[in-house]
Structure 1
């Protein structure tokens, strides 16, 4: 068997899996096939003999291609799932083999949810949760750290599973206290703020938040209550790395994250963070009041 025949044979061994990866990410059988074909073109032009892990290399390449396709697609109105997928369209001519592959891989309901994710969230979730690709391998595809890839997959997982809620009595109690803090802050209720703040509470802000005109540190319940009284109008309740907090966003992108430490039913510390690296990695999810 010549080198070309060997390469074709190895690629064909991976074709079904690559199509599965691409279909789950793109939600479109024709686009998935295009992504697989482009992967073959890139492989045929590469120094294949120097690739130690061909399967991993192919997964990385098809992932990058799909990510580019998703980002291009987001620049124009996205068609409904049925328009993408002949196996899911009502008037499509059934393809038994295609339907079997798609039914085994992902259902219509999941495809609809996946379309609500950002391209990065979608890729991280599909590669990790459906194909067990390590975050260390996903990170270079996204141009992010492994921690950021983990957070993207976690955020996507929450959306796929439904609206997140804090778990456990301590987490639920924290949500109640943070909600009370937000209500008192918005309403300018100084007394109510003092009720939820520990006498020795400390408010800290990172350099990015200080640059917006905030103090780097404020100590004591009265001073912290004064800082927030009548403010936080644009802040929203959120799940911050699994615990109730607040987030201020602009055009859907978090700008400042409020993290709270609650001890014995009162807020003992508040962290305001707007550093871009932190915002990139932190896991923030909307939370119902």
Structure 2
């Protein structure tokens, strides 16, 4: 196949925390590879989702939410990862919610318009917009804020207009060979994906500060006779968080493990034996050394 017959390129999904970037990535790729929850800053890492057809390959870059708060080592890490992901790509998809522009949206907007590459504005959560007559004024306001290549309203949750968005993105990708093998769907390995699926269940199952105080490390990941044997440690920052996570008679931890195991079996297509432990590592999220040891590199 000649280069002129194929299009491929990198597309960063950007926006404030909890605007639906990971949900949209999973929708566009057609498979769950990025974890989601209703809580802000669920995504901590840069992750590629790769969508290939016969003649096109779109490499989506999912990133942590961009936010002006730079307090704490973890926040600075996530902002560096997200900011670096805006560079060296072919276009950027900036996401806002259909409820309208917020103060939190202004910081990502300022960063993306500085890049000098096409920016497609996605107005997400269309399914939550009760009065559709508000959509046109929002699009007109958006056009006054910046010179967007195009504006596309979508619902990442239901898939409404996702195909239209993909067609718009393809117009901004160069004619060149595929960047990754056609059967590859992510740049992340199974150990990473397993740790993220455990963290997802913590974000979905716990309130207050507990999800933000947790990190997951995979101690063993072994295949034997068609089954996966996975041992993982959930790290918390304070002794008081450990009993909250474990629950009475270990029930809350069992629920996390059961739900994560089912998600892994669906993703990996194999039976999974999962064992979880909870350990304390004081102040890990505010230590650069601890973050690095737990897999939080700059990922630029």
The alignment's TM-score, normalised by the length of structure 1, stands at 0.26
Q: Which has the higher contact order (CA 8 A, sep 6+)?
A: 2
Which structure carries more strand by proportion?
2
Larger radius of gyration: 1
Which structure carries more helix by proportion?
1
